[in-house]
Amino acid sequence: MFQIYLKIDYVVYNSVMEFANRIDNSGVRTAVQSDAREITQLLRRVPYSHVHVDWQLPVDWLGSPGFVALPEPGYSTAQRRSVASRLLPPRERLQGCLAATADPPPAAWVRVASVAAAADPQAALAAMLMPVVDYLRKTAVTQLGWLAIRDWPNDWLPGLGFYRANEIETYVKEDKQLPEETLAETAVPGLRIRPVQFADLAALEQIEAAAFEPLWRYSADSLNQARGQSLCFDVAELNGVIIGFQLSSWAGQGAHLARITVHPDYHGHGIGSALLAHALKTYWEHGLRRVSLNTQVDNIASQYLYRKFGFDASGQRFPVWAMDL
Ligand SMILES: CC(C)(COP(=O)(O)OP(=O)(O)OC[C@H]1O[C@@H](n2cnc3c(N)ncnc32)[C@H](O)[C@@H]1OP(=O)(O)O)[C@@H](O)C(=O)NCCC(=O)NCCS
């Protein structure tokens, strides 16, 4: 087991090093608050941008060692120390940035990545990835994921030590039908569905840990962020014990089921169906007809649930890349 770990470690390190050596990476530094404007503009202006933030903003992670910036070449230390730049805050032009956060450990996602076309993009990514990976290892992160929402990373990630771990697919429902057995509120005896409260979040984090592999888990913190932005967020209590939840957000003219999780000890008893039926009724009360959701292509149980409720696979898929640290 130990040897296997060392081998993966060595392969990842070498492939990243090989690309990083192609550019002068000495300037890679932690991204700080004063980079906020430049990073926001970089994410808009360059063709190679990746933003996977769930409930936060890219700039929310500024100052973390997991968020790095790559200044444009030619911006010398002397310039940085010049009198002018001490009087006016320097506006350093960046050619790239990359942020990865573990929320919760032991897995982290690449949340933000951006690199200018003028740079050697793969080398710039490698140069930024190295310090981030070093930092994540120190925080006991063992897996780094990259959800390829756009196509451009797919060509470069294998060369940087990522392997294709999964795919997620979007499912859509536009009708207003419910399965017959979910129509009665008392379909599951002892079950109560109610809006989430702050005090519930620790229990939801534990359900996430029991139900999902590390890469897919939500922490209590991110669920709390989601709470403030949700369309509806309900917990399922069976005889007073929280055993599942659903979290939904607004999506244009429709709703998006962002998460539905039932503790594995209670799967197959109609809890997921009751939560989903409850969520759909809430969307319809808001006049929202189109519902979307994403699920992993190997998550067969969830696909049965969604198909039972009349969701169809849209064919829109996003590769999930991972690197074992
Ligand atoms: C998906 C999930 C929410 C379903 O919750 P559940 O309480 O087990 O769902 P239900 O008991 O209401 O079952 C609904 C349907 O799903 C299907 N189903 C549930 N578990 C299944 C399994 N292990 N294999 C195949 N089908 C399954 C059945 O068709 C069932 O309908 P039926 O009883 O009429 O045949 C639950 O499996 C879960 O929490 N999984 C882990 C988290 C997750 O993957 N969430 C969704 C992705 S974000």
Question: Quick one: 29 and 97 in the same domain?
Answer: yes
- Residues 278 and 182 reside in one and the same domain: yes
Query: In angstroms, rounded to a whole number, what is the distance separating the alpha carbons of residues 148 and 213?
Result: 19
Quick one: 29 and 71 in the same domain?
Answer: yes
Q: Between residues 182 and 33, which one has the greater pLDDT?
A: 33
Assess whether pLDDT exceeds 70 at residue 2: no
Q: CA 256 to CA 231: how far, in whole Å?
A: 9
The length of the chain, given as a count of residues: 325
Give me the helix-helix angle, 220-229 and 201-211, nearest 10°.
Answer: 120
Give the model's pLDDT for residue 75.
Answer: 57
Banded model confidence at residue 152, pLDDT cuts 50, 70, 90: very high
As a whole number of angstroms, the distance between CA 270 and CA 186 comes to 11
Query: Residue 181 CA: which ligand 1 atom is closest?
Result: 34
Q: Which residues, in sequence order, are bridge partners of residue 195? A: 234
Span 25-55, pLDDT tens digits: 568 999 999 999 999 999 999 999 999 999 9
How far is residue 303's CA from residue 293's CA, in Å, rounded to a whole number? 11
Is 324 part of a structural domain of the chain?
no
Which of 245, 257, 259, 304 to mutate for ligand 1's pocket (most ligand atoms within 8 Å of CB)?
A: 304
Same domain, 138 and 266: no
Query: Is pLDDT at 180 greater than 90 in this prediction?
Result: no
**Number of domains forming the structure of the chain:** 2
Q: Give the tokens for residue 152.
A: 């451009």
- What is the distance between the alpha carbons of residues 53 and 100, in angstroms, rounded to a whole number? 10
- CB within 8 Å of 258: residues ≥ 6 apart: 226, 230, 247, 248, 249, 293
Q: Which of 262, 269, 307, 320 is the best mutation target for the ligand 1 pocket, counting ligand atoms within 8 Å of the beta carbon and taking the most?
A: 262
Contact of 127 with 92, CB cutoff 8 Å: no
Which of these three, 121, 142, 161, is where a domain ends? 161
CA of 62 to the centre of ligand 1 (A): 38
Tokens 């696979």 found at: 313
pLDDT digits (tens, 9 = 90+) for 241-260: 999 999 999 999 999 999 99
Q: Name the closest-CA residue to atom 14, ligand 1.
A: 305
Task: Tell whether pTM > 0.75.
Answer: yes
> Is beta strand 143-147 parallel, antiparallel or unpaired with respect to 254-262?
unpaired
CB contact burial 70-97 (16+ within 10 A = b; e otherwise): bbeeeeeeeeeeeeeeeeeeeebebbbb
Same structural domain, 201 and 155 = no
Query: Which residues make beta-bridge pairs with 238?
Result: 191, 241
How many A from CA of 267 to the centre of ligand 1?
6
Least confident of 90-94, 161-165, 293-297: 90-94
40, 122: one domain: yes
Residues 17 and 153 in one domain: yes
Q: Does a structural domain hold residue 325?
A: no
**Best substitution site from 213, 305, 307, 311 to test ligand 1's pocket, by max atoms within 8 Å of Cβ?**
305
Domain-ending residue, one of 161, 181, 215 = 161
At 84, the pLDDT band (50, 70, 90 cuts) reads: low
Q: For residue 93, how far is its CA from the centre of ligand 1 (angstroms)?
A: 49
Q: Place 265 in a pLDDT band, splitting at 50, 70 and 90.
A: very high
- Report helix angle 300-308 to 271-285, nearest 10: 50
Q: What domain range is 275 assigned to?
A: 170-317
264 in the Ramachandran plot: left (φ > 0), alpha (ψ -120 to 50) or beta?
alpha
CATH number of domain containing 246: 3.40.630.30
